């Protein structure tokens, strides 16, 4: 009997040692550095979104084990209704290839980090997060404050080049209609329904300027303005007397009650759901993230945004300025 007990114990120990790492589950759409640091090794895939791949190995460095994602690799072009739209999210197949190339498996926990020092950086992280949710991967979160917050919490960074991961098994599902707005749905919203929300700065909203890939200045009629830089606040940096702080500046998302107050003060109507847009879908991804994920307001992202909208000169554009 004793030998049977010992043998059973040995088999149990072997099974524990051979078992895969415990799978984490994100507690919400935003996670803190402390939560990420507490997760067992191998239980989370950290994807680090930067503007260009060359920036990944430079100062201030990266979280050990984080894998690079260049923002340009999150965009593609497609022909829709006979028109080429050049600033769109990836297809399901394209996103599946991207995630597999970063070693992501089905059901695996993903945390998206970013440099953390600017509001525009969060938009890139949110665009990756949105595509993960769009294609059915819900166990995903954004590191609040990004890599700068990780460093500010006293945790080390590395500038060593990451090792190439083994290809993952990630499988993309069909795009979710409740997270993606088509041009037809935006057109229908002109007559009521979800509130259109413009995530761009005021100058673009009122028609003072537009990037070259947006072919009319102004905004979609009826849209409320909620500029993406209003969603975050800087933490850290220099003290009141201008002395250098011990921790780097990082941008963190406002608390939910503050976000609701900002929207209310700007007159943004969130009572019936929303469709967020910008110039091309990038900056409005952070607005979608805050509304849909943090505040729980049912929100779709208009991928392609003003670029797609203004490809047809017959679609209306409102401006507070005379042409």
* Residue 144, Ramachandran bin (φ over 0: left; ψ between -120 and 50: alpha; else beta): beta
Cβ-based neighbour number of residue 312 at 10 Å = 12
DSSP per-residue codes, 53-100: GGGTTSTT-B-TT-EEEEGGGGEEEEEETTEEEEEEEPPHHHHHHHHH
Q: Along the 323 residues of the chain, how does pLDDT read in single tens digits?
A: 333 333 333 333 333 233 343 446 889 999 999 999 999 988 999 999 998 766 666 667 899 999 999 999 999 998 888 888 999 999 999 999 999 999 999 999 999 999 999 999 999 999 999 999 999 999 999 999 999 999 999 999 998 888 889 999 999 999 999 999 999 999 999 999 999 999 999 999 999 999 999 999 999 999 999 999 999 999 987 655 555 556 778 999 999 999 999 999 999 999 999 999 999 999 999 999 999 999 999 999 999 999 999 999 999 999 977 55
Q: Which residues pair with 225 in a beta bridge?
A: 198
Q: Which residues pair with 251 in a beta bridge?
A: 234
* Residue 82, Ramachandran bin (φ over 0: left; ψ between -120 and 50: alpha; else beta): left
| DSSP code, position 125 | H
Q: Are 141 and 26 in contact (CB under 8 A)?
A: yes
């Amino acid at each position: 009997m004793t030998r049977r007990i010992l043998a059973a114990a040995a088999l149990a120990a072997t099974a524990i040692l051979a078992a895969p790492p415990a799978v984490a589950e994100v507690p919400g759409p935003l996670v803190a550095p402390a939560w990420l640091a507490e997760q067992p090794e191998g239980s989370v895939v950290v994807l680090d979104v930067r503007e260009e791949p060359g920036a990944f190995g430079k100062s201030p460095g990266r979280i050990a084990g984080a894998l690079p994602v260049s923002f340009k690799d999150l965009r593609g072009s497609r022909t829709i209704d006979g028109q080429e739209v050049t600033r769109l999210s990836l297809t399901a197949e394209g996103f599946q290839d991207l995630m597999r190339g970063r070693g992501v498996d089905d059901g695996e926990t993903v945390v998206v980090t970013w440099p953390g020092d600017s509001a525009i950086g969060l938009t890139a992280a949110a665009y990756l997060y949105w595509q993960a949710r769009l294609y059915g991967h819900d166990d995903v979160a954004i590191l609040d404050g990004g890599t700068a917050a990780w460093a500010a919490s006293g945790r080390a960074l590395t500038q060593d080049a990451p090792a190439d991961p083994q290809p993952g098994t990630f499988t993309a599902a069909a795009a979710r209609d409740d997270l993606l707005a088509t041009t037809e749905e935006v057109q229908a919203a002109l007559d009521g329904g979800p509130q259109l929300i413009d995530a761009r700065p005021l100058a673009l909203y009122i028609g003072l300027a537009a990037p070259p890939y947006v072919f009319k200045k102004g905004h979609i009629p009826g849209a409320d303005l909620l500029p993406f830089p209003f969603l975050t606040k800087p933490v850290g940096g220099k003290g009141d007397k201008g002395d250098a702080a011990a921790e780097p500046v990082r941008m963190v998302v406002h608390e939910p009650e503050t976000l609701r107050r900002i929207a209310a003060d700007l007159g943004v109507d969130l009572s019936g759901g929303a469709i967020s847009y910008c110039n091309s879908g990038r900056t409005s991804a952070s607005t979608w993230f805050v509304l849909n994920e943090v505040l729980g307001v049912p929100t779709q992202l208009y991928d392609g945004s003003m670029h797609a909208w203004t490809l047809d000169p017959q679609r209306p554009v409102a401006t507070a300025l005379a042409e």
